[in-house]
Chains A and B, each alone.
Chain A
Amino acid sequence: MTEKRGKHQLLKSLLVPLLREWGYDLVRQCLVEVHVEHTEQSTPTNDRPTGKEHRRLSASEIVERTEVDVARKKVLSLFATRFDAKTFLPSAADVRHFLDMRGQDPGVVKHRQDAFRKVLDVLLSMPDDELEHLQASNAHSGPTQLGPLADAIMETSTVIRTGQPTADPQEPHESTKRAKDAPKPH
């Protein structure tokens, strides 16, 4: 109690010169304003960074800040890099389709970048083998092109029907590589 009274004594001694200078009403009004400002600054909605810091996090940055084991983070970082480079789910519509096909409500996807957190939730839920399969496949990389497909059919047809030896079957086809670089239709 003694300590509490001591604190009040100190507070009172600080307030006395303020009251003498500005009067009770003005000090009270300022005290209310200061209190409101302080409360607003403490709420989470006002926790946003300002100025240069007020920008969307890249997919890579989001993954970097995600708590997950090192091996998984490495794989997720590859997806994030491809997402940032628009070689994985290149449009907001692709993001919607990807989420929809995995039972995740896409909601309104106004900005593709904003939806990465939902994509990440799906990736985090995948078992390792499925994640590796998705990583290895070119699915969800955007519209397909007839040219690379025709190349793949012709080349594989030659191999199968003539029995000519092929290159390493595990090596992705040249057309597949070209497909990634092919211009995207509108």
Chain B
Amino acid sequence: MKRLPAASGLAATAFLLAAPLFLDRGTLNDLWSLSLGVILASAWNLLGGFAGQVSLGYSAFLGIGAYTTVLLSLRGVPPFLTLPLGALLAALFSVAIGLPAFRLRGPYFTIATIGVGEAVRVSAASVAFTGGSSGLRMPSGSFDFTANFYAMAALAIFSVVLAAAVRASAFGTALAAIRQDIDAAESLGVNATRYKLLAHALSAAVVALAGSLYAINFQYIAPGSVFDFRLSLSIVLMPVVGGVGTIAGPVLGALVFSTLQIKLLAIPALRDAYLLLYGGLLILVILYEPGGLVGLLRRLTTRRQATAPEQEVPDAG
């Protein structure tokens, strides 16, 4: 049971490394989208899944990464060198909004994050240096699909490994305690605010890295694309449908989501129908299997699970 994740991780790494050698550009694009989904879903899951703090404002971090990259590239900085700064800015921003927002609990926190996300989008559309609502274009000559593909694939693998490492650590234990009973966690010495801020910053940084790669690949960004509320919604839907708080769930959710989106995008009349479909899927998950696809799979293999429990004791750290 323990070797399966490691083996599938190695297989995925080998496949992604070799993919550009034998796959056509269209399929590679789909794989690029899948990688993006895996990154966003796994990163969101650090705070939303492990710590139970459901944020609907994650497009802000993607946008901060994207805008940092385009604005610096336009001033002559090589695009890939802008990634760390975008991640740092997103992490700092996550702390700035986390300090007040984490004083709120449950749905109140979620509502506050919707407000933050919208405020960032409106701000980006209103000020001059971001190009306002018409957006910004990357400097010419900055496009390199193969490099971008490898970077996105590597980041996807990194974000899954990061999630597994966090969950197995004492930090992950603190997040689980916060999710299950924040007051009991505090009464045993857990500094809940600090660990929520840490999880928020870590996931914001990873999402910003993906945002930078997104900007470089599409060569054009606008508040309506990178700060879109529907994007924030998709970032939540993927891990929830896949299985919130698990390692495999966000990956499965991203796989379902990107497949649906790709199939539906091919039909012009249904361009936005993926959200409708996903909303329906979400209702089914909440009603019948709150554990998502991972929960469903677990239920189907209950007998095997009884002898070899999946949940390991996160002692080491």
A and B assemble together: no
Binding site for B on A (CB under 8 A): none
Binding site for A on B (CB under 8 A): none
